[in-house]
Structure 1
Amino acid sequence: MKPISAICAVACLWAGVALASEDIPDKYPQSVLYNKPVEVIPNVWTSIGATAPPTYENSGHNNNLSFIITGEGVVVVNSGASYQIAQALHEEIRIRTDQDVMLVVAENGQGHAMLGNNYWIDQGVPVLAHVDAAAEFEKDSGQAFASLQNYAREKSEGTVPMQPTETFEDRVELTMGDFRIEVLHLGPAHSPGDTQVWLPEQSLVIAGDIAFHERMPPIFEGTCTSCWIDTWENAFEPLGATYVIPGHGHPTNMAQVRRYTHDYLVWLRARIAEHIDEGGDLTTAYYVDQSPYIQLDTFEELATRNAGVVFAEMEWE
């Protein structure tokens, strides 16, 4: 059991922080990073991205960029959405330590996790991703780069889509300095090759996009929501993490991400099942009432799409 003081410390740290909002402007205007990195627990830092879609104002930094200062080097989680974001994160790391970055881990194959790869590779740092995430990035990187150029304009300069240098299938375990680090693919969830970084001795998981709590989880075409629920119940939550750094939003705990990810998926599937049982079709599935989750950022962008994707998945189950 974790000391009560440690649990209280992280709870108090975030108790006074308002939920992230699409209306909040860039919080760190002197940098292309949306937020200055904060220390979640000793030597584990994260720069919290906007919970809005990528825009010129947030520079595409709309996911969490984390790093672990181990004592023998730094491990970074996510390359960032561009060369310039990766470079800005590296500058923040150098302010906090003179230890070299030894490894970058990508949480999935999306642009905001991997479009900064070429910066890190230029520094001689290996970039690790799950084999399925690497395949997804190879397929979609051209479109992701074009999107970056469109919204970020001159902030996209320097970015060259580049594949990760290393891949894995199930897990990678390493000990570096004061940390035992497990890089895990626990099973199918939000997108191909979803990856979690688990620090068992600190009871902290850098969860990636398996876990949301301040913005609505996006459900992609091809996402298996029943598989996501199974992975959550059988592999993710059994980690027993005290601290959770989600893919988006402030660091929190397992109860919060369960409420707004696992429970949302279960709830939405139940509503779509009722809709199907009542003879509803795809055109009306989009309008299934999701108002219990209206407070989540990106609700307007994602709720109707999520309903349609889940209907298409469940129609043939």
Structure 2
Amino acid sequence: MRLLPLDLALVSALVALPALASEDIADQYPASLLYSKPVEVIPNVFSAIGATAPPTYENAGHNNNLSFIITDDGVVVVNGGGSYLLAKALHDEIKVVTDQPVKLVLNENGQGHAMLGNSYWAEQGVEIVAHVDAAAEFEAYGGQSLRATQARVKERADQTTVTLPTQTFEDAYVVVMGGTEIEARYLGPAHSPGDIVVWLPQQSLVISGDMAFHERMLPIFEHTMTADWIETWEAAFEPLGATYVVPGHGHPTNMDQVRRYTHDYLVYLREKVGAHLEAGGGLAEAFYVDQTPYAHLDTFEELATKNAGRVYEQMEFE
């Protein structure tokens, strides 16, 4: 089954305009375990956009983007999914739009919502590839992630097991499938260990994973080194010059939008916390540095104070 190209004006409008966030909508696609039906971002590149809320039973833990690329010689899936059944639901949608088999799954990082669905894809005999650091992270903490998912989504986590990638890489993993060049790249430290982007140079499209956020506030973990993330962005991610960006969370957009809410947010927060440190301020007050320019983002209430506290702890010893 060969897909017809979309109207390019419509595609341009899709990526150029901000989309409505979805934190307050429990499930946009009741016919499937997926939070939303996959949409065609550009011809032959689809993404099932996850909720911008934290994972819940209602959204079945589908709070990240599950994407796939259709070529003339098979399908590449980006993200294993947050459970066996979520991965199966994505596969069901793939089968609706193409007869091509899934030949490769790329895990964007070592978090549960990127890798727990590996259990389904391994059962299908599909090659699963991730960065070596992401695989190590999942090996260390996958059991913990699975237990949390089982407690949260209950029977929707049935058949899910901790299944590691079948292959790892350090710098880049490049395939040419059906004439389409697909590059999984590790650009440097960012949000979590082993974060990668998937770059389609012929289409000028990047599936950025958690390198880039825009509709929901980015989370800063204990191991998220914000200075390194900014450096990776400026030295390697921005120079890609991508026309289209499919972020790890939220709707497809462009580089200007993700820069504003990722790079610029990190710079802003570090400046606020830095000024607080210079004034002799302590950790207790650092939680409440002004972040109002970003208060409209989903998950702001859950993450803003935590982010500020973690940046304070990092910068205190820089």
Tell me the distance in 2 between the aligned counterparts of 1:293 and 1:42: 33
- Residues 224/16 of structure 1: CA separation in 2 closer, same or farther (3 Å cut): closer
Tell me the distance in 1 between the aligned counterparts of 2:39 and 2:52: 17
Tell me the distance in 2 between the aligned counterparts of 1:52 and 1:14: 21
Tell me the distance in 2 between the aligned counterparts of 1:168 and 1:103: 14
Identity, in percent, stands at 65
SS of equivalent residue, structure 1 residue 154 = helix
Task: Using the TM superposition, give the Cα deviation of residue 283 of structure 1 relative to its aligned residue in structure 2, in angstroms.
Answer: 1.2
1:194 corresponds in structure 2 to 195
Tell me the distance in 1 between the aligned counterparts of 2:191 and 2:78: 17
The answer (yes or no) to whether the contact 2:15–2:244 under 8 Å persists in 1 is no
Task: Using the TM superposition, give the Cα deviation of residue 135 of structure 1 relative to its aligned residue in structure 2, in angstroms.
Answer: 0.6
Q: How does 1:1-317 map to 2 (within 5 A)?
A: 8-13=9-14, 18-317=19-318
SS of equivalent residue, structure 2 residue 22 = coil
Task: Using the TM superposition, give the Cα deviation of residue 8 of structure 1 relative to its aligned residue in structure 2, in angstroms.
Answer: 4.3
Task: Using the TM superposition, give the Cα deviation of residue 143 of structure 1 relative to its aligned residue in structure 2, in angstroms.
Answer: 1.3
Tell me the distance in 2 between the aligned counterparts of 1:12 and 1:209: 23
The answer (yes or no) to whether the contact 1:7–1:242 under 8 Å persists in 2 is no
- Residues 256/18 of structure 1: CA separation in 2 closer, same or farther (3 Å cut): closer
Tell me the distance in 2 between the aligned counterparts of 1:268 and 1:14: 27
- Equivalent AA in structure 2 for residue 217 of structure 1: L
The answer (yes or no) to whether the contact 1:38–1:46 under 8 Å persists in 2 is yes
Tell me the distance in 1 between the aligned counterparts of 2:71 and 2:111: 27
Tell me the distance in 1 between the aligned counterparts of 2:230 and 2:7: 29
- Residues 305/158 of structure 1: CA separation in 2 closer, same or farther (3 Å cut): same
Tell me the distance in 2 between the aligned counterparts of 1:89 and 1:230: 34
Tell me the distance in 2 between the aligned counterparts of 1:139 and 1:17: 37
Tell me the distance in 2 between the aligned counterparts of 1:194 and 1:200: 19
CA deviation string 1:116-164 (max 9, x = no partner): 0010000000110000000111111111111111110110101011111
- Equivalent AA in structure 2 for residue 269 of structure 1: R
Task: Using the TM superposition, give the Cα deviation of residue 16 of structure 1 relative to its aligned residue in structure 2, in angstroms.
Answer: 7.1
SS of equivalent residue, structure 1 residue 127 = strand
Tell me the distance in 2 between the aligned counterparts of 1:260 and 1:57: 27
Query: What is the TM-score of this pair, normalised by structure 2?
Result: 0.96
CA deviation string 1:185-236 (max 9, x = no partner): 0000000000100000100000000000000011100211010000000100
Task: Using the TM superposition, give the Cα deviation of residue 7 of structure 1 relative to its aligned residue in structure 2, in angstroms.
Answer: 7.0
SS of equivalent residue, structure 1 residue 205 = strand
Task: Using the TM superposition, give the Cα deviation of residue 21 of structure 1 relative to its aligned residue in structure 2, in angstroms.
Answer: 2.7
Q: Which runs of 5+ in 1 are unaligned?
A: none
Tell me the distance in 2 between the aligned counterparts of 1:103 and 1:193: 18
CA deviation string 1:28-75 (max 9, x = no partner): 001110000000000000000000000000000000000000110000
Tell me the distance in 2 between the aligned counterparts of 1:210 and 1:58: 23
Tell me the distance in 2 between the aligned counterparts of 1:81 and 1:45: 18
SS of equivalent residue, structure 1 residue 280 = coil
Task: Using the TM superposition, give the Cα deviation of residue 6 of structure 1 relative to its aligned residue in structure 2, in angstroms.
Answer: 8.0
Tell me the distance in 2 between the aligned counterparts of 1:196 and 1:299: 25
- Residues 16/293 of structure 1: CA separation in 2 closer, same or farther (3 Å cut): closer
SS of equivalent residue, structure 1 residue 223 = coil
SS of equivalent residue, structure 2 residue 53 = coil
The answer (yes or no) to whether the contact 1:127–1:165 under 8 Å persists in 2 is yes
Task: Using the TM superposition, give the Cα deviation of residue 11 of structure 1 relative to its aligned residue in structure 2, in angstroms.
Answer: 3.5
The answer (yes or no) to whether the contact 2:48–2:67 under 8 Å persists in 1 is yes
Tell me the distance in 1 between the aligned counterparts of 2:207 and 2:17: 22
How many equivalent residue pairs? 313
- Equivalent AA in structure 1 for residue 181 of structure 2: R
The answer (yes or no) to whether the contact 1:171–1:184 under 8 Å persists in 2 is yes
Task: Using the TM superposition, give the Cα deviation of residue 10 of structure 1 relative to its aligned residue in structure 2, in angstroms.
Answer: 2.6
Query: What is the TM-score of this pair, normalised by structure 1?
Result: 0.96
Tell me the distance in 2 between the aligned counterparts of 1:99 and 1:137: 29
Task: Using the TM superposition, give the Cα deviation of residue 22 of structure 1 relative to its aligned residue in structure 2, in angstroms.
Answer: 1.5
